[in-house]
Amino acid sequence: MKAYIDTSVIISAYKPDEESGKESLRVAKLDAVRKVGSYMLVVELFSVISRLYRASLIEMPTSIEGLLSKLPFEERVYALVNALILDWNLSCPSTGFEAKQLRLKDFALWMPEAMLEACAMVPAVNLKTLDLIHVASAKIINDVSHDLAYFVTLDQDILDGRDEIKKVAGFQPLTPQELLDAI
């Protein structure tokens, strides 16, 4: 079984005040689930980790923190993102980059396939831009692999739109706990 892991799930595992952090850590350790992400997940991890780490709002194991303290800040962020991707055993298929053309009545624009897919989803799903791009990226992964069963997230907007997303994208958005219950 394959599941797209949203940034919110990964981050929650390292925030001490996050209610769902324990369930998220359990998802990270699941061998029965192949965990995938996209280039958007990696970009978002860099952004969120940088902001939260700078503000001391995430906790890393003492062994990791000791190693990180010896690095300049920029290198710490790269090291943290690398460690999280490895810890979650995430794969990020190189899909959604192919240039496709958006054609409107009086306008045309070449853009990455994931962006075009996000535009096509707008009438059916009511999501913020980055959430929409995550869902579109996951849909493209599913279109290629045909085995993406779930989109694991803590984003309430995505969870509220799960029925529409299932219809448009072909996979079910779930919370970490719902995924744990499903397997």
Domain positions in the chain are 2-94+146-182
Compute the Cα dihedral for 49, 161, 176, 114 and give only its sign: negative
Q: Scanning the structure block, which residue is given the tokens 């958006």? A: 102
Q: Output the tens digit of pLDDT for each of the chain's 183 residues.
A: 899 999 999 999 988 788 899 999 999 999 999 999 999 999 999 999 999 988 988 887 777 778 888 899 889 999 999 989 999 999 998 876 788 888 989 999 998 999 999 999 999 999 999 999 999 999 999 999 899 999 999 999 999 999 999 999 999 999 999 999 998
The fold adopted by the segment(s) 2-94+146-182 is Rossmann fold (3.40.50)
Distance separating alpha carbons of residues 142 and 131, to the nearest angstrom = 16
Nearest 5°: phi and psi at 172?
A: -100, 120
**Residue burial 155-179, b: 16+ Cβ < 10 Å; e: rest:** beebeebbebbeebbebbbbbbbeb
pTM for this predicted structure: 0.90
